[in-house]
C-alpha cells in the first residue's frame, strides 16, 4: 500500500520567524525518511542558516528524520567566553526539529578542534591545573546537557579523542594535557548525571578501519569497565569513491556490535575528488593544492560510480539491526564541507542532492537499499 503523508503548516516561531512547514510528501517511494520504515533514523547535518533557506529547509523536513547541528552545539559555539552561553542558533535548529517531528542529536560536548582555549589552557597556552580544567569541563557539559534535556535524543560526548598513530593511544590534546587520559571518562560521567535519559556516544573517524579499530575498542572497554553509560559508537563515515573497502568497514561494524553497542554512521559523505591521503576527517591533513576536475559537473560515469558506492554501503548497513541511525554530513553538494577539505575552493559532489537540490542517481540507490533492508510492513518511522 502506498502511503501519502500530508503535513499541515506549522505556526511555530524561531526568533520571530516562522519555521518553514514540512512540504507535502509525495509518497514513501520518494523520501528517505519514509523509505527507512521503522528500521532506523536517517538524518542530516545542518546549520542554523539552513533553516532560513526555504527550499533547503523544505527538502530537509521532507527527507530526514533527525538532525545534527554541524557547528552550533560545539563548545566554542556555545561558550566562547567563560560563563557566557549563547544558545540562540542551536535552539533554532532544535525548534525546527521539533516542528517537523525529527529527533535531535547533540554534537559535541568535548572536541579539541572547537573548544575555547580558556577551557583547558591558561593565557600562555600552558595546561590548566587538573582541578580547574575538570571544573570547566563539568560546568560546560552540565549547563549544555541540562539546557537540552528532553529535547536531544543522544550526545556525541567526546569526538575524535583517539590518535591516528600507534602511540600515544589518545590524541595529545589540551584536554588530555590538563586532565589526563581520564578526561574521556569524566565527560561521560558528567553527561549522564546531567541527563540520565539521554543516549551517550563516542564519535570518531576511521575507527571502523583496521589500523585504528583496536584503539577505539580499548577506549570503549575502559568506559564500560568504569561503570559508565555508553550506548553507541559513531563511525563518521567520511569515505571515498573507491576506499575503504566494504569488507573492512564490515569488520569494524562487527567489532562494535560485539561490544553490545548500537552503531551509528554519523557524518556520511563520499568524496569523489582525488586527495593525497585516504578517507577520514583529520583537519590536520589539509592540503594546499589538488586537482579539481569536476567544476562543470559530475560526468555520468562518475555519477554512476557514486550511485553504486552509496548503494553498496547502504546495502551493508541495512544488514545490521544494531545500526540505528545514518546521518549524512550535509544535504546538497553546494553545502558540503568537502568543497573546502582537504583543499579549499574545489567543486565536490559527495551528497545525494546536487547544487540545485535535485536528487542524484545516488539518491535512488539509497532509497532502493533502504526499502530492501527494512522489515516487511514497515511504512514509517515511529517516534522514539
Which is nearest to 204 in space by CA: 249, 164, 174? 164
> Please, which contacts does 293-297 make with residues 24 or more away whose CB atoms are closer than 8 Å?
294/347, 294/348, 294/349, 295/347, 297/349
364: how many CB neighbours lie within 10 A of its CB? 16
The H helix count followed by the E strand count for the chain is 11, 11
Q: What is the DSSP letter of 52?
A: G
- Give the burial string for 93-127 (b: 16+ CB within 10 Å, else e): bbbbbebbebbbbbbbbbbbebbbeebbbeeeeeb
Question: Are 173 and 160 contacting, i.e. CB atoms less than 8 angstroms apart?
Answer: no
Distance CA 160, CA 323 (A): 20
Give the catalytic positions in this structure: 160, 267
At residue 233, the 3 state secondary structure works out as strand
Distance CA 293, CA 162 (A): 33
Distance CA 64, CA 4 (A): 16
Q: What is the largest CA-CA distance in the chain?
A: 65
Amino acid at each position: 500500500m502506498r502511503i501519502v503523508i500530508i503535513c499541515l503548516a506549522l505556526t511555530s516561531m524561531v526568533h520571530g520567524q516562522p519555521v518553514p512547514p514540512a512540504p507535502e510528501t509525495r509518497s514513501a517511494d520518494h523520501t528517505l525518511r519514509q523509505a527507512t520504515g521503522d528500521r532506523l533514523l536517517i538524518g542530516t547535518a545542518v546549520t542554523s542558516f539552513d533553516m532560513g533557506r526555504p527550499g533547503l529547509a523544505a527538502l530537509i523536513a521532507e527527507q530526514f528524520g533527525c538532525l545534527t547541528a554541524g557547528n552550533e552545539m560545539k563548545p566554542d559555539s556555545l561558550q566562547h567566553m567563560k560563563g557566557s552561553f549563547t544558545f540562540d542558533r542551536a535552539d533554532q535548529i532544535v525548534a525546527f526539529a521539533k516542528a517537523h517531528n525529527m529527533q535531535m542529536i547533540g554534537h559535541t560536548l568535548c572536541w579539541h578542534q572547537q573548544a575555547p582555549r580558556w577551557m583547558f589552557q591558561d593565557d600562555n597556552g600552558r595546561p590548566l591545573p587538573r582541578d580547574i580544567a575538570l571544573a570547566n569541563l563539568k560546568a560546560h557539559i552540565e549547563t549544555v546537557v541540562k539546557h537540552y534535556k528532553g529535547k536531544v535524543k543522544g550526545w556525541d560526548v567526546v569526538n575524535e579523542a583517539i590518535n591516528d598513530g600507534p602511540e600515544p593511544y589518545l590524541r595529545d590534546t589540551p584536554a588530555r594535557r590538563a586532565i589526563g587520559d581520564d578526561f574521556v571518562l569524566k565527560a561521560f560521567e558528567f553527561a549522564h548525571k546531567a541527563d540520565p535519559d539521554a543516549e551517550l556516544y563516542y564519535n570518531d573517524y576511521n575507527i571502523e578501519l583496521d589500523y585504528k579499530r583496536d584503539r577505539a575498542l580499548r577506549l570503549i572497554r575502559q568506559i564500560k569497565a568504569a561503570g559508565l553509560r555508553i550506548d553507541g559508537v559513531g563511525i563518521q563515515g567520511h569515505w571515498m569513491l573507491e576506499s575503504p573497502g566494504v569488507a573492512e568497514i564490515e569488520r569494524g561494524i562487527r567489532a562494535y556490535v560485539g561490544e553490545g553497542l548500537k552503531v551509528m554512521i554519523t557524518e556520511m559523505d563520499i568524496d569523489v575528488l582525488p586527495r593525497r591521503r585516504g578517507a577520514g576527517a583529520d583537519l590536520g591533513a589539509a592540503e594546499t593544492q589538488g586537482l579539481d576536475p569536476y567544476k562543470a559537473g559530475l560526468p555520468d560515469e562518475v555519477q554512476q560510480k557514486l550511485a553504486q558506492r552509496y548503494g553498496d554501503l547502504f546495502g551493508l548497513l541495512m544488514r545490521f539491526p544494531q545500526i540505528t541511525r545514518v546521518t549524512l554530513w550535509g544535504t546538497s553538494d553546494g553545502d558540503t564541507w568537502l568543497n573546502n577539505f582537504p583543499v579549499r575552493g574545489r567543486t565536490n559532489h559527495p551528497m545525494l542532492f546536487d547544487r540545485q537540490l535535485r536528487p542524484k542517481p545516488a539518491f535512488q540507490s539509497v532509497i532502493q537499499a533502504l526499502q530492501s533492508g527494512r522489515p516487511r510492513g514497515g511504512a514509517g518511522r515511529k517516534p522514539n
